[in-house]
Structure 1
Amino acid sequence: MLARPESATYLSDLRQEILREVTGRGLDAADGGELYSVEGTLPGRVYAGLRPQLVADGERSRWWVPVLDGTERLGLLRGSLDDGADLGQFQTLASLVGMLIVSKQPSSDAAARLSRTQTMNVAAELQWNLTPPRSFANKDVVISAAMEPAYEIGGDAFDYALAGDQVHLGIFDAVVQGKDHPDTLTACTNLATSYARTGRTAEAIGIEERGVADCARLLGGEHPDTLTARANLAEFYARAGRTGKAIVLLEKVVADRERLLGENHPDTLTARANLASSYVQAGRFSEAVVLLEKVVADRERLLGEDHPRTVAARSKLAGLIRAVGANQRGHRPRRGDGR
């Protein structure tokens, strides 16, 4: 055994203000248990600082060890070690306890009751169930978030995703600004982009379709944000394999940007490059080559031959030309085959 039978688990409330002992008794699984404040107590310092603490208790000594879900604090594990056991083993046990807690939370009313100090409204109930973990960390970034009033949120939300070396964040304040506020529209577009980059393409399309309609209604069909929303939606269609829809939308985006921003605007060049990619996806190679040749020429003229976007476009064009040549050689008619 690692820890003696008097070991105990303590979980924090939603606002991370108190630590309650899990006893398994009562509707909240905490009847008869101890309660500590996070502020001003030794267990609270261990919880906040994430550093195990050994405390003398008469003839015995007890360890207080944080219980985590990845980086997010769940609570504490308290216990005395058997002879031969070390702190590392006890911390491993705390990790297993954390996994057990997280696995049971979705189906446990007791866990929900234990983590609350007041009644939660329906909107908050739904929102918290859709929210990602409040803390995340790796070697490059630390993310932490909170929502208040925690028991009465009604539209506020946050979301985040990692894609390679980029972090995408979405913060929504719909209660204060309203669903038609420009910042709310921008936040929805950012959320859709985060979904698309993490493989949740169907959700991204649903959000961005509404975003395009809202931008056109509130800002006008020719507003830059409306054009950006259409371009994003076209990209999501392409990711989902809905190439026909992507091409129709991108052709309109290219035409609108040429008319409103000018043929040499960077956003116009980007739209042309994206349209060329969709042509390739649809097997319309000749049109893609013509369009990419124009993109390369324009970028060389406007950005310079060594600019990263110019180099990327030139590389893409070269690869496409090679692919088209290989395809034509592979389908070259043989003598006597009637083709």
Structure 2
Amino acid sequence: MTGANVPEVWHGILATLVEAGHLTGPAELGRLVTDAVAPTGTEVVVYLVDYEQRALGPLPPAAGTPEPVDDSAAGQAFTLGRTVPGPPAWIPVVNGTERLGVLRVVPATGADPYPVLAGCRLVAGMVGHLITAKNLYGDDLQRVRRSRPMTPAAELLWRLLPPLTFASRQMVVSTVLEPCYEVGGDAFDYAVDGDVARLAIYDAVGKGMRAALATAAAVGAARARRIAGAALDEVATAVDRVLVDEFSDSRFVTAVLAELSLADGRLRYVNAGHPPPVLLRAGRAVRTLKDGGRTPLGILAGGTTVAETVFEPGDRLLLFTDGVTEARDPEGVQFGLDRLVALAEGVAREDLPAAETVRRLSHAVIDHQAGPPRDDATLMLVEWSEAAARRAVP
């Protein structure tokens, strides 16, 4: 059933959400959705995923126990991006392809569930947009998503980051950042304009606020030059300059800066002292991208060389910080590149959405440590694939 064939009452509900949403704050968003749908006799509750992506909690005024992302019907809707029929039914809530949560839906007694679920899928789409917009104007949605307070450094960096997932018709980029509440030096960035995807992953030396400030300066300098149309080597030089000018303690940042042509798959990249990304083809790791090397950003020694390779349709590029491969279990055994590659290959065979792939990889790293991480751990997965883009859409 397409949107055009959904009963007219649901289009009226969308109109209500749009009109009433203008004067609705974050704290009232859950009630707005519940009240808008109530005339149909359908019970709807909005659930948001937490920063760890391990639980889905209800928006007030609803109350109740959070639903686990793993091993629950709600979690299945979230992880796979599919409606899980009930009752209750669970419908994924996204903004574009950024996974935000789910709708819990209980149709009125005796109601035909098919048109109800079709209508609620439209509502879920509108709710995703409202959550993203209203999140800017208050803290209530943030409180629902957090299981504990963030450090000031983590608060600073999270506010700088783009959404964890984005998809266009030709590609998907999906990311994850751990530890969610204490991250200090890691960050990622991307911008997709026309047929070019610009990608970056950063890791500042040190921990805490000093590292966060260096990363923030690097991201800001890179974005300013990127938006001005600068080439990759010019972007790297701009970051060098701001780190040298603003930090007197030889502060540096490792990074990979890249540009992917979505028209022909050409990838141009610079590696500033960072772990080399891994290229996966047909579900297998085929090589690491070791060219384009230079000193870490902020260390002025030598020039910047831009390397180049060419993707084949369906290729995946896995970028990561050293907090992933160097994570240690209680016996001191590192997670390691081989383990990361093996897990990435195994998950690739399951044909999951990119966002679910990086979530599972990240949780494998966290579970390996069996305790608080010693370092930040960031993953970015880029897929040049129309099929991957379609999998990202609910």
The alignment's TM-score, normalised by the length of structure 1, stands at 0.52
Give the match for residue 303 of structure 1. none
Match of 1:45 in 2: 76
Kindly tell me: are residues 109 and 218 of structure 1, through their superposed partners in 2, closer, same or farther at Cα, counting changes over 3 Å?
A: closer
CA contact (8 A) 2:93 2:99 kept: yes
Contact persistence 2:221–2:242 (CA under 8 A): no
Relative to structure 1, the CA distance from residue 205 to residue 108 in structure 2 (aligned partners, 3 Å threshold; closer, same or farther) is farther
The one-letter amino acid of 2:58's match is E
Q: Distance in 1 between matches of 2:103 and 2:77?
A: 10
The structure whose residues are more often strand, as a share, is 2
RMSD of aligned residue pairs (Cα, Å): 3.7
Distance 1:87 1:123, change over 3 A: same
For residues 186 and 108 of structure 1, the distance between their equivalents in structure 2, rounded to whole angstroms, comes to: 27
Larger Rg: 1
Aligned to 2:300: 219
Determine if contact 1:67/1:98 at 8 Å carries over to the other structure: yes
Residue 210 (str. 1) matches residue 257 (str. 2)? no
What is the match of residue 141 of structure 1? Answer: 171
Cα distance, 1:110–1:188 mapped onto 2, change above 3 Å: closer
Deviation for aligned residue 1:42: 1.1
**Matched residues in 1 for 2:199 and 2:242: separation?**
20
* Alpha-carbon distance between aligned partners in 2 of 1:196 and 1:109, rounded to the nearest angstrom: 33
Q: Which amino acid aligns with 1:173?
A: D
Q: Judge conservation of contact 2:217–2:242 (CA < 8 Å) in 1.
A: no
The residue identity in structure 2 corresponding to 1:37 is P
Decide whether aligned partners of structure 1 residues 86 and 187 sit closer, same or farther in structure 2, where only a CA change above 3 A counts. closer
Distance 1:140 1:35 in 2: 35
CA distance, structure 1, for counterparts of residue 92 and residue 43 of structure 2:
17
Deviation at 1:176, TM superposition (A): 5.3
Q: What do the CA deviations read for 1:25-50 (whole angstroms, capped 9, x no partner)?
A: xxxxx6x3231110111111111000
Question: 5+ unaligned residues in a row in structure 1: which ranges?
Answer: 25-29, 56-60, 229-339
Work out the CA distance in 1 between the residues paired with 2:53 and 2:46.
Answer: 15
More displaced, 144-153 or 61-70? 61-70
Amino acid at match of 2:102: L
Identity rate, percent: 34
State the 1:164 CA deviation: 3.0
Q: Deviations over 1:12-37 (max 9, x none)?
A: 1011100111122xxxxx6x323111
Amino acid at match of 1:10: Y
The verdict on how the C-alpha distance between 1:80 and 1:109 changes in structure 2, with shifts beyond 3 A counting, is same
Identify the structure with bigger relative contact order (alpha carbons < 8 Å, sequence gap 6+): 2
Deviations 1:37-90 (A, max 9, x none): 1011111111100000111xxxxx432110001111111112134558353322
**Structure 1 match to 2:262:** none
The question of 1:106 aligning with 2:136 is answered yes
The structure whose residues are more often helix, as a share, is 1
Change (3 A) 1:193 1:162: farther
Structure 1's 191 and 176: CA in aligned 2 closer, same or farther, altered over 3 A? Answer: farther
Cα deviations across residues 82-126 of structure 1 (Å, max 9, x unaligned)? 558353322111111112211211222221111011121011111
Q: How far, CA to CA, are the matches of 1:129 and 1:184 in structure 2?
A: 10
User: Which position in structure 2 is the counterpart of 1:169?
Assistant: 199
Counterpart for residue 228 of structure 2:
196
Alpha-carbon distance in 1 for matches of 2:158, 2:219: 18
Map Cα deviations across residues 274-325 of structure 1 (whole Å, 9 max, x no partner).
Answer: xxxxxxxxxxxxxxxxxxxxxxxxxxxxxxxxxxxxxxxxxxxxxxxxxxxx
Distance in 1 of aligned mates of 2:42 and 2:116: 16
Aligned partner letter, 1:141:
M
C-alpha distance in 1, partners of 2:91/2:195? 32
Q: Which residue of 2 aligns with 1:67?
A: 93
Task: State the partner residue of 1:160.
Answer: 190
How far apart, CA to CA, are the structure 2 residues paired with 1:164 and 1:113? 35
Q: Report the Cα distance in structure 2 between the residues aligned to 1:10 and 1:184, rounded to whole angstroms.
A: 31
- In structure 2, list runs of 5 or more residues that go unmatched: 1-8, 11-36, 247-294, 307-394
Match of 2:58 among 5, 15, 21: 21
Aligned: 1:130 with 2:156: no
1:167 deviation in Å? 1.4
8 Å contact 1:192–1:208 — kept in the other structure? no
Structure 1 residues 185 and 53: CA distance shift in structure 2, 3 A? closer
SS at match of 2:177: coil
Distance (whole Å) between structure 2 residues aligned to residue 164 and residue 209 of structure 1: 29
Q: Aligned equivalents of 2:47 and 2:219: distance in 1?
A: 37
